[in-house]
Amino acid sequence: MLLAVDIGNTNITLGVFNTNLETQQNSRIEIIPIRQPKTTPLTVSWRLSTTPSATADEYGTKILDLMHYAVIERRQIKAIAIANVVPSLTPIFEELSQKYFKIKPLIIGKNVKIPIPNLYDNPKEVGADRIVNALAVYARFGGPCIVVDFGTATTFDCITKKGEYAGGIIVPGPILAAESLALHTAKLPKVEMAKPQHLIGKNTVESIQSGLYFGYLSLVDGLIERLRTDLGKNAKIVATGGLASLIASDSIFIRKENVIPDLTLEGIYLLYEKNQQ
C-alpha cells in the first residue's frame, strides 16, 4: 500500500492506496486522457491540521492511530509519497517515514520525474500540489481543463489540450481574507465562511459573510470565464479543497459532480506509479 501525503498550509490530507502491483494491473500507467471520470484505488483518506511546530513523533503517532481505526497495519505500508508546500515539514515527515515505517519517502520536487510538460518560466516555482492536481485532472478528463483548489490560497491551474501545465492564478483564500479582515480592523469580528441568508446583510456578521461568499463566488466565476477565453470554451472545470462544495453550489461553471475532494491525493498516487516505471 502507498501512503500519500498532501501537506498544505492549513491542512494535511493523507490517503492510503493499493498500488498498481497489488491490484494486479500489470500494464504501464500512461498519463493520457480518458475523457471520463476514473477511479484510483483509494482505500481511505484523512485530514489533519497543519502544525509546523509538531514533531515527527506527534505526527507519526497520529497517523498510526488513524490507521488503527481503519484496520490498516503499519507493515502494509510499502511506500510513502509526499507533496509539500510547507518546507519546514519536509524533514519532519522524512524522519517519521523512516522511524515509524522504515521507508524513505518519495518527495515530489526532489529528483522526481514529472510526466507532463511544465510551461512556467521557472518550473521549480510551481507548488507540488498544483502539479499533481494538473496530473490527476488530465488523467481523468483530458484537456483543456482548469483546476480550482480552495485552500489557504485559492489557485487556478490550467492544462492545455496537449496535456501541458500552462500556468495559472493565485489569490488569497476566503478564510485567509476573513482572518486578515478581523486582524487589521478594530471592530470587525472574525466570522465563519458560510452562505448568508441574504445578499444584503442586516448585521455586521451577515454583511461580512455576504462579502466573503458572494465576493469569492463572483471572483471564481469571473476568473474562470476569462480563463476559458484563453483555453477554450470547452475547458473542463474541476474543483477541490475544503470550500469547493460550498462555492460549487452557486457557481455558474463548477458542477457538483466535478468537485473531487481527493484530487490531490489521486495526483500523488499517479505520480508515484509513474516514477516506478
- Is residue 1 within 8 Å of 76, Cβ to Cβ? yes
According to DSSP, the residues that pair with 84 across neighbouring strands are 7
- Is residue 276 within 8 Å of 11, Cβ to Cβ? no
Residue 219 — φ and ψ, nearest 5°?
Answer: -60, -50
- Is residue 208 within 8 Å of 178, Cβ to Cβ? yes
Residue 129 annotated to the active site: yes
- The catalytically annotated residue of 6, 129, 157, 262 is 129
Which residue has 494535511 as its cell numbers?
12
Q: Output the CA–CA distances (angstroms, integers) from residue 221 to 139, 192, 205, 236, in the order listed.
A: 24, 22, 24, 13
According to DSSP, the residues that pair with 157 across neighbouring strands are 147, 168
Peptide linkage before 144 cis (omega within 30 of 0) = yes
First CA to last CA distance, the chain: 17
Residue 238 — φ and ψ, nearest 5°?
Answer: -125, 140
- Give dist(CA 184, CA 231) in Å, integer: 38
> At 150, which amino acid appears?
F
SS3 216: helix
Give me the active site residues, please.
129
